[in-house]
A and B are shown apart, each in its own frame.
Chain A
Amino acid sequence: MIVPPLYYIALSAVLFFIGIAGVLTRRNPLIMLMAIELMFNAANLALITFSRVWLNNVGHIFAFLVVTVAAAEAAIALAIVVVVFRQAPNVDVDQIAELKG
């Protein structure tokens, strides 16, 4: 590895926190979900980097599982987003605040 592994990790951290910022600042649920996908991918990048560093392919397995889970989660998430917002005038999580207190 020519590039020090910590650079990869730093890159993954940047992506991860961009994801967090996305969750915090966006109101469109779809974009929030995308930001969460971004966070999963950042974690995957870290996993694969570490896997390479340790030469331990369990990181690959883990990343594979994460991708699978992310797919399942995306399916469910999008289904929920659809049922929540199909009737709503705005696709905006701020408007979904009936439960509070």
Chain B
Amino acid sequence: MITFATLSIILVASAVFAIAAKSPVHSVVGLLVNFMALAVLYLSLSAEFIAFIQILVYSGAILILFVFVIALLSSGIGPFNVGPDRLPKLLIPGTILSALALGLVIRMLANTSFTPEPRIGIALGPIGAANVFGSIGDFGRALFTLNLLPFEVTAFILLVAVIGVVLVTAGESHAMPPMKIHRKARKREAIVKEHH
């Protein structure tokens, strides 16, 4: 219970930090903490394989990708600039709306009676043991037998990701020069015209 409480506090705090941080890099750090805490929470739920995946994929791959992009976008034009806020009034309603929805869901959860009847298919066991609920063996068997179809579909999803990214960015290499140069060129044209 204490573990759960501690993790909850960490999770909520890091999540709030992640979305409230000024700088995206701070957000990434917040998110990193969040994902780590989640992985611990998964362990407490006997999902050891998912916990590893969580750290590997999320913290290891996705967040690094974010850092990359942050670096890429801020390299040429300095730190992130923010333009004028077109919807300045959205901050408070947005927050209120989310809180309202959360309140509704919490109220629902508070009033509900949750009576699952666990199926006795596979036993719970300590983390790290083989062939217990949540172990790699258990997971792998399920993935490659009954859930073969979803697994195969993920192959195509990853293919789509690869080809899609190539397609989107391939267009870029042939694209117009960056806007600044473009603008300069236009200004020059205008000056030439004036001279005429």
Contacts and interface: CB of A to CB of B under 8 A. Distances in A.
A, B from the same assembly: yes
Interface string B78-107: 001111111100110011011101100110
Contacts of B27: 30-31, 34
Nearest to B48: A60
B45 A90 contact: no
B143 interface: yes
A21 B95 contact: yes
A22 B57 CA distance: 22
Interface residues of B, number: 93
Contact of B77 (A22, A27, A73, A89): A89
Interface in B132-185: 133-134, 138-139, 142-143, 146-147, 150-151, 154, 157-158, 160-161, 164-165, 168-169, 171-172, 176, 178-179
A99 interface: no
Interface of B: 1, 4, 8, 11-12, 15-16, 18-19, 21, 24, 27-28, 31, 34-35, 38, 41-42, 45-47, 49-50, 53-54, 57-58, 61-62, 65-66, 68-70, 72-74, 76-77, 80-87, 90-91, 94-95, 97-99, 101-102, 105-106, 109, 112, 114, 116, 118-122, 124, 133-134, 138-139, 142-143, 146-147, 150-151, 154, 157-158, 160-161, 164-165, 168-169, 171-172, 176, 178-179
17 contacts: A15-B34, A19-B19, A21-B94, A22-B19, A34-B24, A35-B18, A45-B42, A48-B45, A54-B118, A54-B119, A55-B122, A56-B119, A69-B154, A71-B161, A82-B69, A86-B73, A90-B80
Contacts of A20: 97-98, 101
B45 A34 contact: no
Given A14-B102, A72-B158, A25 B94 contact: yes
Contacts of A22: 18-19
B45 A87 contact: no
Tell me the dominant secondary structure on chain A's binding face: helix
Interface of A: 2-3, 5-11, 13-15, 17-22, 24-28, 30-31, 33-35, 37-38, 41, 44-45, 48-58, 60-61, 63-65, 67-76, 78-83, 85-92, 94-95, 97
B58 A67 contact: yes
B168 A83 contact: yes
A84 to B, nearest CB: 10
B47 A63 contact: yes
